[in-house]
Amino acid sequence: MANPLYDTLFAPHAGKPTPFLHLADGRSLSHAAFLDLAGRVANALAGFGLAPGDRVAVQVAKSAEALALYAACVQAGLVLLPLNTAYMAGEVGYFVEDSGARLFVCDPGGAEALAGIAARTGARLETLGADGGGTLAEMAAAMPTDFATVARGRDDLAALLYTSGTTGRSKGAMLTQENLLSNALTLTDCWRFGAGDVLLHALPIFHTHGLFVAVNVTLAAGGAMIFLPGFDLDTIIAHLPRATAMMGVPTFYTRLLADPRFDRDLTTHMRLFVSGSAPLLAETHRRFETRTGHRILERYGMTETGMNSSNPYDGERRAGTVGFPLPGVEIKITDPQTGARLPDGAVGQIEVRGPNVFRGYWNMPEKTAEELRPDGFFITGDLGRFDAQGYLAIVGRNKDLIISGGYNIYPKEIEEVIDAVPGIAESAVIGVPHPDFGESPVALLVCEPGATPDLDMVQERIAVALAAFKRPRRLIVVDELPRNTMGKVQKAALRDRYAAALAG
């Protein structure tokens, strides 16, 4: 029976003794062992009575078992909804409820706190631990490895990934089998991944980069991964000699460059370093080449589209650009007001069309219509320009978004929490340069007349409501916020005023 994503990325590896995952504890799993594990998990999922198309919300630590849960969802025709492990209960509750998830898999340590969400939303709650334990793992262990793959079409949903918005509620981006598969095959080809590759994998697997780029490309190529729980400098340096390729956010590369052990000798054997999810400074690109002799390959993508453009594997990898549109992907630069296409060299909004572009936001037809044009072009919210040689450079954002260490932070979310604190009239959160994370949030607060708000209380409220990576690094009380004639807060003016003083 046909299930294009499973049939192409997973099924061909069944029974193969070739290595797939090298884990931090020294264990390795062959392709065959991984697929057996996935089959057991798929049987457990089917045992819960889940039907094809049902959403499975997952907030668990990175592990071989967590990856097998992804494979199992694909095989069982379920829609994976991966969640950042840093999200707090309030944030998670919204995703589980909005998606109508039938199953919610969380860490055993979080089960008690999250049981209320499951009860409220009617989702079944199961657990999966970093050590491979938990109720789901126990159930899977008793299951057979064979599972009859559920038939799915290319347009059927494979994943729902939530991205916040400049205004309003978070939106679930609906990604189809075709979206994921077309992108994986294109990238595998463009970046020349093959069965001999060993990818150093230190990214989280709840976002596009770590899951759909890194994992799917490795699967498509039949290669292996050194599958680490996170980015730890010593561990990365220890494992580099066994790797052939690495994918990371710019913070990975600036951290490596800050360590003198990271040098030419350690990296001569490497085939490829890929960067994305946030801007890589041209200076980092140059320092990397001077230190290692490698030119980082920078590419550009997003949750709604997977990867859109990439610097070439052969040919010049141009610092400060994200390369050319990927084969099959169209990119145009348009006037943000009129939507008209602009000539090369002009700065405008980046629009993307292709088999990689998502099918819309879950249960939000009006939001979908705002960003996805009837002719299939998606308005990314990024601002860019093509140079004379066709390289795309991202020059800014038309959306109020801060990217910190590759994690997206929407100022609106933080402002809403701050504004609810007694004595605060209003606030504006801006991104300022940060040496490690690229950008980081700072909050500017205006008090009610005569009020002296408790800033510790503001930080506490934020800490309870939002994931730790969203916390503003500083709270600054100001007299007023600059506004334009329409009454809109001028964030660009605030950034100009405060960025230099607050950087670092």
Interface contacts to ligand MLC, rule CB under 6 A: 86, 203-204, 207-210, 230-231, 249, 251, 276-277, 301-303, 404-407, 437, 468-469
> Taking a C-beta distance cutoff of 8 angstroms, is the pair 270, 244 a contact?
yes
Alpha-carbon distance of 78 to 56, in angstroms, equals 7
Alpha-carbon distance of 86 to 59, in angstroms, equals 9
Q: Are strands 198-201 and 55-59 parallel, antiparallel or unpaired?
A: unpaired
For the residues of 320-340, what is the DSSP string, one character each? T---EEPTT-EEEEE-TTT-P
Distance of CA 219 to CAs 106, 225, 229, Å?
25, 9, 19
3-class secondary-structure state, position 476: strand
- State which residue, 263 or 370, has the beta carbon closest to ligand AMP: 370
Of residues 368 through 387, those in contact with ligand AMP by CB under 6 A are 380, 382
Q: CB of residue 37 vs ligand MLC: minimum separation in angstroms?
A: 24
Q: CB of residue 302 vs ligand MLC: minimum separation in angstroms?
A: 5
Write down the residue that tokens 């009454």 correspond to: 487
245 contact, one of ligand AMP, ligand MLC, none, CB 5-8 Å limit per kind: none
469 contact, one of ligand AMP, ligand MLC, none, CB 5-8 Å limit per kind: ligand MLC
With CB under 6 A as the contact rule, which of the stretches 125-133, 273-281, 362-370, 462-470 interacts with ligand AMP?
A: 273-281
Q: Is 214 in the site for ligand AMP (CB under 6 A)?
A: no
163 contact, one of ligand MLC, ligand AMP, none, CB 5-8 Å limit per kind: ligand AMP
- Residue closest to 22 by CA, chosen among 36, 34, 39, 11: 34
Quickly count helices (H) and strands (E) in the chain.
17, 24
- State which residue, 40 or 201, has the beta carbon closest to ligand MLC: 201
Interface residue with ligand AMP, options 303, 356, 368, 440 (CB under 6 A): 303
Q: Is 254 in the site for ligand AMP (CB under 6 A)?
A: no
- Residue closest to 302 by CA, chosen among 379, 192, 193, 201: 379
380 contact, one of ligand MLC, ligand AMP, none, CB 5-8 Å limit per kind: ligand AMP
Q: Is 397 in the site for ligand AMP (CB under 6 A)?
A: yes
b/e per residue, 66-75, with b = 16+ CB within 10 A? bbbbbbbbbb
251 contact, one of ligand MLC, ligand AMP, none, CB 5-8 Å limit per kind: ligand MLC
397 contact, one of ligand MLC, ligand AMP, none, CB 5-8 Å limit per kind: ligand AMP
- State which residue, 285 or 397, has the beta carbon closest to ligand AMP: 397
Q: CB of residue 294 vs ligand AMP: minimum separation in angstroms?
A: 17
3-class secondary-structure state, position 4: helix
Of residues 171 through 210, those in contact with ligand AMP by CB under 6 A are 208
- State which residue, 123 or 331, has the beta carbon closest to ligand MLC: 331
Name the helix (H) or strand (E) containing 22. Answer: strand 19-23
Q: CB of residue 276 vs ligand MLC: minimum separation in angstroms?
A: 4
Q: CB of residue 388 vs ligand AMP: minimum separation in angstroms?
A: 20
With CB under 6 A as the contact rule, which of the stretches 1-9, 232-240, 293-301, 442-450 interacts with ligand AMP?
A: 293-301
Whats the size of the chain, residue-wise?
A: 504
Query: At 421, which amino acid appears?
Result: V
Angle value at C-alpha 474, between 468 and 475, nearest 5 degrees: 110
Phi/psi of residue 141, nearest 5 degrees:
-60, -30
Neighbour count for residue 132 (Cβ, 10 Å):
18
Q: CB of residue 110 vs ligand AMP: minimum separation in angstroms?
A: 23
Q: CB of residue 380 vs ligand AMP: minimum separation in angstroms?
A: 5
Start-to-end CA distance of the chain, whole Å, equals: 55
For the residues of 139-205, what is the DSSP string, one character each? HHHTS-S---PPP--TTSEEEEEEE--SSSS-EEEEEEHHHHHHHHHHHHHHTT--TT-EEEE-S-S
203 contact, one of ligand AMP, ligand MLC, none, CB 5-8 Å limit per kind: ligand MLC
Interface pattern 7-46 for ligand AMP (x via CB under 6 A): ----------------------------------------
Interface pattern 156-175 for ligand AMP (x via CB under 6 A): -------x------------
Q: CB of residue 234 vs ligand MLC: minimum separation in angstroms?
A: 12
Q: Which residues bind ligand AMP (CB under 6 A)?
A: 163, 208, 276-279, 298, 300-303, 322, 380, 382, 394, 397, 403, 408
